[in-house]
Amino acid sequence: MELQIKYYGMLAEISQCDEELLNFDGTTGADLLHFLIQKYPSFATKDIKVAQYNQIIDLGNKITSSEIALLPPFSGG
């Protein structure tokens, strides 16, 4: 399926874009992360959270939204 992936913070710096459309044939959040590490190897060293519908998912959960956010560690406040 075609996913719109949005990158935030240091992840957007690595991908050099805020968002992109990618074809993804996996199922879970972990599959997606694995797929993106092929494209951006340095993602492997980062602590990344995957979010859909404005909620962080467990990596074992299924990707059901066509819009996914990739979030690095938070540093608000």
Residues engaged in binding another protein (CB under 8 A): 6, 8-10, 12, 51, 54-55, 69, 71-77
In DSSP notation, 10-65 reads: HHHHHHTSSEEEEE----BHHHHHHHHHHHSGGGGGS--EEEETTEE--TTSBP--
User: Rounded to whole angstroms, how far apart are CA atoms 62 and 45?
Assistant: 23
Measured from the CB atom, the residue of 9 and 26 that comes closer to another protein is 9
Shortest distance in whole angstroms from residue 69 CB to another protein: 6
Shortest distance in whole angstroms from residue 51 CB to another protein: 6
Shortest distance in whole angstroms from residue 40 CB to another protein: 15
